[in-house]
Amino acid sequence: MRIHKDYALAFENFKKAAYQDHADAQLKLAEMYEQGRGVVADQILAMDWLQKAADNGHAEAQYKLGSKYIKGYGVEQDLTSGAGWLFRAEMNGHAEAIEQLRQLRIPSYNV
């Protein structure tokens, strides 16, 4: 059975929740803007929503934001900001953040 995904409807629902400060919805909205699902792709809005989710303590958003700063993807490369977001993600239990910090040879709080 094939399932039809209504990305436009999902986008509207995530948007409502995101404006009510739901960090999960903010991350989903960022991903939808980044990928152009249910909405025209917009990297600036994607970064804005990713930042909001990260600011609201969402570990995955913090990890993704840190990775973007480290790589200079969608933002100007900034290793200090990137490491800071990776540390926050690590403190919120994000295992991949620990690994990325190790790869960068930055001591982890959990090591």
Looking at residue 107, what is its pLDDT?
64
Provide the whole-model pTM: 0.87
- The one-letter amino acid code at 3 reads I
Query: Cα(26)–Cα(71) distance, rounded to whole angstroms?
Result: 22
Q: Report the pLDDT value the prediction gives residue 1, as an integer from 0 to 100.
A: 42
Per-residue pLDDT, 19? 97
> What are 24-80's pLDDT values in tens digits?
999 999 999 999 998 999 999 999 999 999 999 999 999 999 999 999 998 999 999
Quick check: 26 and 18 in contact, CB under 8 A?
yes
For 75, the token pair is 């933002």
Q: Which domains does the chain have, with CATH numbers?
A: 1-56 (1.25.40.10), 58-111 (no CATH)
